[in-house]
Amino acid sequence: MNKKQYSDPEKQDIKYNVEIIERTLNSFGLKTRVAEINKEKDYIEYCLEVVVGLNLDELEKHSRDLALALASPTGKVKMIIPIPGRALVGIQVPKPTRKELEKMKKLNEVRDKFNNTLRKKIGNAVLFIAYFIGALGEKIKKE
């Protein structure tokens, strides 16, 4: 099972987010490419190169779609369109706070305990059914 561990964003999370940003915007016909990534204290900024002629208002309309796709801890992303003095667009994704990380960790632990209990109960039920079918089969053979 592919289980996402919540931690401070690391290289794998950032690479994953780059793919999500590019794929999400591309799905709306907005050709962009993440050109630069800046790690700040409270957020990670993804700087995008956009195709010449792209309507920036159209890009701004999809900030909620990006927040959803990135599972932003605040439910929002901040867009800087354009970044002053640069030919880039900025998308700032907040980092989860320590309290949010602890909550997510506890949630994962509870989910894992539930899944393990469920697996055991299902496994026991399967064994019982297999035993019952086996015993029934033996009884039928004898008759």
Based on the fold, state whether residues 89 and 136 are members of the same structural domain: no
Based on the fold, state whether residues 70 and 104 are members of the same structural domain: no
Residue 35 is encoded by which pair of tokens? 């050109």
Based on the fold, state whether residues 52 and 113 are members of the same structural domain: no
pLDDT score at 87: 92
pLDDT score at 102: 77
pLDDT score at 9: 46
* Residue 26, amino acid: N
The secondary element (H helix, E strand) that includes residue 78 is strand 78-80
Q: Which domain holds residue 31?
A: 11-94
DSSP code, position 46:
E
pLDDT score at 10: 64
Based on the fold, state whether residues 90 and 120 are members of the same structural domain: no
DSSP code, position 80:
E
Taking 70 as the pLDDT cut, the residues of the chain under it are: 1-10, 101, 135-143
Based on the fold, state whether residues 51 and 90 are members of the same structural domain: yes
- For residue 6, is it within any domain? no
124: how many CB neighbours lie within 10 A of its CB? 10
Count of domains forming the chain: 2
Based on the fold, state whether residues 74 and 18 are members of the same structural domain: yes
- For residue 4, is it within any domain? no
- For residue 125, is it within any domain? yes
Based on the fold, state whether residues 28 and 88 are members of the same structural domain: yes
- For residue 2, is it within any domain? no
